[in-house]
Amino acid sequence: MRIGITGHRGLSGEVERKIRAFIEETVAAYGANTGTGNGNGTGTGTGTGPGNTGLVGVSCLADGPDAWFAEAVLDHTGQLEVVLPAERYRADLPAWYHPAYDDLLRRATEIHRTGLDASGPEAHMAGSELLVDQVDILLAVWDGQPARGYGGTADVVTYAREHDVPVKVLWPEGATRD
């Protein structure tokens, strides 16, 4: 099962706590529904033990939901693939997040690149489209509101739905973004 993630960044503490729990539960459920691979295309078991090659998480590794999802996939012995929207993407991420980003990027089994150099809305949308095109389902940490700028979560959800990729929205009832 190939699962991708998109979502809002900069969430309040209470919303973050709930979203992290939603992501953990969702990844655990998908991990349990994939077989534990043995390298020859067959597998058995719950998919949560060592060697789980059935669960693949695909993330752009932005701070927030992207990173929480990547960590959950790795915690459930899944494989992590990373989409880099631009070669200078890391520079646009918060400096405090760079060590975690570097660690997750190092742990990726594959890195996909858009071919763009400068990070910005166009690159972020191109990266999201590349991500969506590679997954069986998209998890969306989305409040249901329109995007605040081109390439935002709502745009990614729209792209996924237009390309027949199922979307599972993870958002606490009654929660709002700042």
DSSP secondary structure letters along 106-142: HH-SEEEE-S--S-SHHHHHHHHHHHHTT-SEEEEE-
Q: Is residue 104 a contact partner of residue 71, using CB atoms and an 8 Å limit?
A: yes
Q: What is the pLDDT at residue 86?
A: 98
Domain that holds residue 116: 2-8+19-29+47-169
Give domain status of residue 13, yes or no.
Answer: no
Give domain status of residue 135, yes or no.
Answer: yes
Number of domains in the chain: 1
Q: What is the pLDDT of residues 81-137, one digit of tens each?
A: 999 999 999 999 999 999 999 999 999 999 999 999 999 999 999 999 999 999 999
Which alpha helices (H) appear in the chain, and where do they start and end? 13-32, 65-75, 98-107, 121-132, 153-162
Give domain status of residue 39, yes or no.
Answer: no
Give domain status of residue 175, yes or no.
Answer: no
Give domain status of residue 116, yes or no.
Answer: yes
Give domain status of residue 138, yes or no.
Answer: yes
Give domain status of residue 174, yes or no.
Answer: no
- The H or E element that residue 46 is part of is none
Give domain status of residue 145, yes or no.
Answer: yes
- 97: domain CATH number is 3.40.50.450
Split at pLDDT 50, 70, 90, the class of 35 is low
Tell me the whole-structure pTM to 2 decimals. 0.88
